[in-house]
Structure formats: structure tokens, C-alpha cells
Amino acid sequence: MENIQFSLEKDVNDIFLQKLRKAGFKIPNKLNISGFECYANMMFRLVEPRPRTIHLPQKIKIPAEHLRGINLILKKFKMGANVNSHQSRHIKNINFLDAFLQDFGFHHFHLGEKYQSTGKDRDLIVRTGYEIIAKVDVNDVYIIGVYKHSKKENCHLWAKTELLEICYENWPHLLDAYVVRGVLGNDKEISEEDRIKLRGAYINVPIKLKNGVLLFSPGGGFTGNGISINMRREINKLMNKLYVFKKQIFESSIEIPGNSFFKVISFDMEHLCLVEDKQRTVILIKEGKNTSHVIKFNFGHGIIKYMPPLHANLNKTTETILSLYTISSPHFLSPFPSIINTENKYIDKNQIP
């Protein structure tokens, strides 16, 4: 297989950047992190639109003047509408690393009722100075509280251990996996200001609650270049799988014309698909139940050779390969939602509970 050449990391990186472009994000000339790290970072920060069960703490203070804004976003969570316009204006910046989310594991949402129509915050919800802090899971959202926040008032809100204490008191199961056990001598208190500085340097520091419970960052913490440890784990898992596929392709016996340069066009945890434009050739490796199948396919000529034998209908296999000839094919991460979902952008205010 000396004849086949392709750049796995470069192609994967380019595909991730193209996915971000198609989702409406601007790609800056200078990226602080790689394309697939940017993509993973956005998947970590964005909240997928889907119906969620709402959980409120036993005690919560709600400012009367923001009751409609609170009810609006809770209604959106319940309906499965897109709530990303309620997030920080940094949600438009694929380079931005949300230290609060990566450390404490919480999102924050602004409580406006209308969308801004002009300026740099266009299509984001109007900022009111009050925000909901919440733990967002796949099917549930846990409301920690409603807080006033600005540069002058409550400026260290994102570092207050009180937020995690509320979570632990009401839903201890959410933090149980992050409790550090069997550690002695860690009595040093970290101030809110120091925690913010340490986050800025991508330094992971345990969080001590008033009841003595010690937590590792529920948001997963930071790697050396600042991205979430959770996202780095997912990236490594994907890339390791793709390198296994690459090795299997080179070890297969399919025949390729001399000096063919292939390009990755589609991939996930179960397949890797390459195309060579000049020869109009596709190579697909797809993971089966007990082994992986390497398929060579020429456009217009059917399947040339595959190894090991596939017990599948020829037309069905051909359709599968052709459907993979797009960068918008299914991916191991959840569907990438645009910031504004126009179908859910305006909610009938009469439906607010």
C-alpha cells in the first residue's frame, strides 16, 4: 500500500473548521487551538436544543421584575427550544474557553425577553444584568439560582463555591463522581480572586466546600493549552480510532494506482472514508461486529474489491458510500446547533407559564 497517501490530521482539522463555518461561525485568521479543538470546545459550550426536565432548588430567590424573563427561558428548556442566544456574547467566538464551565461545570443564561437586532450582540437575548446559573445535562436542567452580575457588582460570581454548595445540598448525585476521597492536609482556602487567576493560567485546583467535601472540577478542568479535559479525552478517543482505521487500510490488500493522494471526506467512531479525485476512487473502512471491512469503490463502476467479504446488498453498500461523500455526514459528537434556531426564535409569550 505504498501508493496511497493522505494527511489524516490536516483533513480532519479542515472538516471540523468547515462544520463550524456551515454552522455560521466566523473562523479567525489566528486560532489559539486547532480546528477540531475549536469544534469540541463549541460542542462543550453549546446547549443542544432538546426538551429537558427542570429541577429547582429547595430555596431560590427570584426578582419580581425578571419573572417573565425567567419563565421564558424555563419554557424554552421545557419545550426543547434553542437557549444559546441567552448565553454570553462569547458564544460567537470559537476561540473562547469558558473557564467557569470547565471548572464548575455550570452554564449561565441571561434573562432578557427580546432579541437584540443591531450591534455586535445582534441575535443574542438582551442583557438585563441578571442571569440564571444552571447545570445542564442531556435530559435535565438543574437551576442553581438567579444572580445579579456585572464588572462592578458580584464580579467574582463565577468563582463562588456557594454555587457548588447549593448543587451538592440539592442534588449530591451530580457531584458524587468528582468528590476527592482519601486526601489529607488540603486545608488551604483559595480565594475567589485567586481561583479566577489560576483558571487563567489553566491550573486545576480542588474545590473545598464548607462541609469539608473536596471536589475536583465538575466541569472536567483544564489541559495545558486550556481546553477541557473532557473534550481532550473525546478528541483522543476519536483520533486513536482513526489511526487504527488508517493502519488497517495500509495493511489491507486492495490495489491502488501509483502515487494516489487521497483526502478524508467523512469519519466517525465507526468509519473512515477517503476519496481520490483523479482516479475517482473511494476507500471506505467500516467497523463491523467482529472486524473492520475495507472497501474500494470507483464512481460508476461498482465495488472493485473489498476485504474481508461483506454480506450486504451491492446497491445498499453503494448508497452507503455515496451518502458518505459529504462533510456533513453523521459525526460522533451530537448534532451541531446554530446559535439561533429560527424555528424556535420567537415563542408565543402567551405560552409562558
- Parse the chain into domains and list their residue ranges: 4-12+232-323, 34-226
Give 141-167 as a DSSP string.
Answer: EEEEEEEE--SSSSTTGGG-THHHHHH
Min mean pLDDT across 25-29, 55-59, 217-221, 302-306 is at 302-306
Indicate if the pLDDT at residue 306 is higher than 60. no
What percentage of the chain has pLDDT greater than the value 70? Answer: 80
Indicate if the pLDDT at residue 89 is higher than 60. yes
Indicate if the pLDDT at residue 294 is higher than 70. yes
Distances in Å between the Cα of 225 and the Cα atoms of 20, 28, 45, 203, 221 are: 20, 18, 17, 10, 12
**Where is pLDDT greater, at 339 or 154?**
154
Indicate if the pLDDT at residue 311 is higher than 50. no
**What is the pLDDT confidence band of residue 167, given thresholds at 50, 70 and 90?**
very high
Indicate if the pLDDT at residue 340 is higher than 70. no
Contacts 24+ apart (CB under 8 A), 320-325: 320/284, 321/273, 321/282, 321/284, 321/295, 321/297, 324/265, 324/266, 324/271, 324/273, 324/284, 325/265, 325/266, 325/273, 325/275, 325/282
Q: ∠ CA 70-72-75 to the nearest 5 degrees?
A: 110
What pLDDT score was predicted for residue 105? 96
Min mean pLDDT across 103-107, 156-160, 233-237, 332-336 is at 332-336
Q: Answer yes or no: pTM beyond 0.85.
A: no
Q: How does pLDDT run across 13-59, given as a tens digit for each residue?
A: 998 898 888 888 888 888 888 888 998 898 889 888 889 999 999 99
Provide mean pLDDT across the span 329-337. Answer: 29
How is residue 214 written as a grid cell? 473536596
| Residue count (the chain) | 353
Indicate if the pLDDT at residue 307 is higher than 70. no
Q: How does pLDDT run across 231-266, given as a tens digit for each residue?
A: 888 888 888 988 988 888 888 877 777 677 888 888
What pLDDT score was predicted for residue 345? 35
Indicate if the pLDDT at residue 66 is higher than 60. yes
Who's near 285: CB < 8 A, 6+ residues apart? 245, 248, 249, 271, 272, 273, 292, 293, 294, 295
Q: Secondary structure of 248-279 in the HEC alphabet?
A: HHHHCCCCCCCCEECEEEEECCCEEEEEECCC
What pLDDT score was predicted for residue 300? 54
Indicate if the pLDDT at residue 350 is higher than 90. no
Mean of pLDDT over the chain:
79
